[in-house]
A and B are shown apart, each in its own frame.
Chain A
């Protein structure tokens, strides 16, 4: 019973990651691709983490897995934001007031 749950969670996690890879490859620009890149650090890692936790229990391996997934989960939103800003700056230049908006 426990093995079936582990296999199901693991398969779902890997499938979620593959779906995100497909989305990143198929989408047209960096902004669309970022949606899939960010999604890859939420559903898939949590499902794989759940599979490891069910199989191992609370061991040192589980704690290190929790640390790795938590690092991904916390750092990726900031990374996506920084990447989107870089893409915007690369496409449209530095954000700021236009010449007409600047005070005299």
Chain B
């Protein structure tokens, strides 16, 4: 197990408090946690791809970064209408 795999595992473990925040806080606070979760997922995929030394794994963080941005905009659009 190399340093990049450990870093990826730590970044995945950091999802736990964000999941708790999504479940327990207001919707808009959950959206902030979701955006941070997308960033963490992107970085975890980079670290795991580097740790496993698989070039094909590096496609995943690019897709994840795009999906994080699009999902954030969609949720922000619809949560802004809730009151």
| A interface residues with partner B (beta carbon < 8 Å) | 6-7, 10-11, 13-14, 17-18, 20-22, 24-25, 29-30, 33-34, 36-37, 40-41, 44-45, 48-49, 52, 55-56, 59-61, 64-65, 67-69, 71-72, 75-76, 78-80, 82-83, 85-87, 89-90, 93
Contacts and interface: CB of A to CB of B under 8 A. Distances in A.
Contact of B39 (A6, A18, A29, A41): A41
Q: Is the interface of A mostly helix, strand, loop or mixed?
A: helix
Contact of A79 (B11, B62, B69): B69
18 contacts: A7-B3, A13-B43, A17-B14, A17-B40, A20-B36, A25-B20, A30-B28, A37-B32, A37-B35, A45-B42, A55-B50, A60-B55, A61-B49, A64-B58, A72-B42, A78-B69, A90-B80, A90-B83
Contacts of A59: 55
Given A17-B39, A61-B58, A86-B80, 10 more contacts: A6-B3, A10-B3, A18-B14, A30-B26, A30-B32, A37-B33, A68-B42, A75-B68, A86-B31, A86-B76
A17 B4 CA distance: 15
Interface residues of B, number: 47
A89 B21 contact: no
Interface of B: 3-4, 7, 10-11, 14, 17-18, 20-21, 26-29, 31-33, 35-36, 39-40, 42-43, 45-47, 49-50, 55, 58-59, 61-62, 64-66, 68-69, 72-73, 76-77, 79-83
